[in-house]
Chain A
């Protein structure tokens, strides 16, 4: 190790992990990062969310969550796991905003309701409710970069779907409306895979903003689903499942594979790769894209047209 710089080691470890088809190298990266100085500060805010993105983050395997928060980043604020409550929690957030200007990495989970700020308050400040919308702006202004964690923050998701009353919008749209400019990366998925979240943070920290596709996602994690699907050969042979449990292509049962992008079917699977969306016999519901869950009227179980462009930019 003496002949190789720490940074170089990390680079090699990351490359080894990614090229093996997973993030398996990241455990070693984390080991190498045993901190002697302050780790990059992360503030995780939750808006209109089900907390599913956070739960998925807790499911991270290599590195696991304990290593992430002791060796990769310093998790300054996360409502679901933090020790502090009430004013102690709010003061912690204010301290980080004040003392870490320009250094914070903001992870925003959930959409921003703009019909009324009271549709989502994250605490109290100066005796008044402190809205998620305001907190996002306050933290973003002190941040070096922001990740829209999950489909709600990236594209609006279900809170912005047909029938919504709260005018739920994306992190990017909210920042833009308020003239706040900083690098942002969408990490959609309902939920996003923990490897996508951890991998995007790692990429940003060590290699800068990853190459993004037309809807702001790291290309690394969001290849086409359909052509990489284990059932694609049945599609080519035009053999379609008519009911759950049949091994054939699920297109006629409403599979959103043809309009979706993510690496779950091709390499990653879920929860330690013990199973995966289409592998479990369910059609893909297209949860990583901007059209989820309406899919232009097709919903989750209606068939999609095959000649559409695969990604719609919103």
Chain B
């Protein structure tokens, strides 16, 4: 008889996620992931001036606003019939690039690492680093307070699941705690990089249809480049080695968390002004076979989602209305499918598609990591594999961003003037840190008549579809060990390896009006 447990909330992700898992013989046999917050973003966009779209759309998510702004401006460019000049394209790449660096570092150290690192090990620190000694003093002091009855004295780090989960070696723990602190500063510098060209982070201001509002002056170029150089040092010498060390300490994590072997990638970082070439290529992998991506094969299902709309529709064909009490529905997340199949999106998807496309940078980088760890391509389909893919990807991307910043041309145009058309349609598909993101817009009477977004976590954290086929995270949870149902650590690790973002995943609503799509990326 399966034992059902609820893990709610799943913390250290963006947003509100609940997990229900059925456990039998110490393993998860079935899992249900449920998004727990609804705002109705797309309906709020309707009726507004299209040039407001990227500002409203980026506020779908404050962790990854840059990709929402990016996809939104791509779809506005298309609807307005314009392309950014070279500087405009490069600045957009640098905005998204900075956010991707910040996102991957934050994810590993500040969201995922506490599933492995024993924070209490700092009490055994015997070195002379001033900052670490302060943290040590704080933990010792807080533990004293805890013994005196203070609740959550070591907040926000303790309490936590207790059990045989954490790294035992004191030096490894202390090194990772030191890197957790260092990573706080590094991710902040990545935010500064974005602000140098974007004006603010979160929620940049300088991205606009036709390019950017910030001109690439020499001082800004240098300011960005020097921070990027520091981050490259951190990524190469701290982040990547830490992920490799974690892989060595937890080899079992390569055997947990497998989804279907289906992957979807829209591509990432335009290499030319019409978006036809991207540094990381678009593609679809079905059961480990590479195919060309065709956006027309996307459909969204809602049998188990809290909406009263029709099911199996191309994202914008149906009427979608919230129905909180819908019978049998358990999530605010819809179930998007590609060619009827659940698809994993994100860094692992990008690395797998690039590898199978014989990408000149990705293939050797992954082969090197595989041989160092004694794993292979299919092991990227695991909890560990997702961390590894993120690290390998960031190492390559950070160096790519150097070429973008060096290619900026001070004094040259960074923005293409535009007129808002009376009627227009556009689609912006591009990968962000967490995976494939699509925005669609319809303009009528110079106003937004319809707006749709299908986002990475909607793919990954989707509930079951109309055929009762589990979403990728739900599938990945099957087989995850749960030694102690009172301390169910492993399911959280699986979920966090996807870096879910629930504010993004749940924003749906509206439809009823067709959006034609003209550009295939």
Task: Report which A residues bind B (CB closer than 8 A).
Answer: 34-38, 41, 46-56, 58-59, 61, 64-66, 69-71, 74-92, 95-96, 98-100, 113, 116, 118-124, 127, 129, 132, 158-159, 161-166, 168, 190-191, 243-245, 270-272, 274-277, 279-282, 285, 287, 293, 299-302
Contact = CB atoms under 8 A, between A and B. Distances in A.
Contact of B137 (A34, A56, A75, A276): A34
Contacts of A279: 199
A81 B188 contact: no
A99 B150 CA distance: 8
B200 A276 contact: yes
B37 A121 contact: yes
Contacts of B11: 79-80, 82-85, 89
Contact of A277 (B131, B151, B199): B199
Given A46-B16, A243-B417, A271-B191, 8 more contacts: A74-B153, A74-B155, A87-B486, A165-B43, A244-B208, A245-B215, A270-B200, A271-B192
A132 B16 CA distance: 10
B48 A299 contact: yes
B329 to A, nearest CB: 11
A293 B145 contact: no
B202 A55 contact: yes
Interface residues of B, number: 99
B46 interface: yes
Contacts of B159: 83-84, 88, 91-92
A44 to B, nearest CB: 9
B9 A79 contact: yes
Contacts, number: 300
A69 to B, nearest CB: 7
B428 interface: no
Contact of A80 (B12, B43, B195): B12
A38 B322 CA distance: 45
19 contacts: A37-B145, A38-B145, A50-B65, A65-B184, A75-B155, A80-B111, A83-B156, A87-B486, A158-B44, A159-B44, A163-B40, A163-B45, A275-B196, A281-B206, A282-B199, A285-B205, A293-B55, A299-B48, A300-B56
Contact of B8 (A77, A95, A124): A124
Contacts of A37: 145
Contacts of A58: 106, 184, 187-188
A280 B213 contact: yes
A300 B488 contact: no
A270 B195 contact: yes
Given A81-B12, A86-B10, A129-B36, A92 B503 contact: no
B199 A86 contact: no
B1 to A, nearest CB: 19
A166 B336 CA distance: 23
Contacts of A88: 159-161, 487
Contacts of A52: 59, 61-63, 65, 202-203
Interface string B196-232: 1111111101101000111100001001000000000
Q: Give the 3 A-B CB pairs with smallest separation, nearest first.
A: A52-B62, A280-B199, A281-B213
Contacts of B52: 293, 299-301
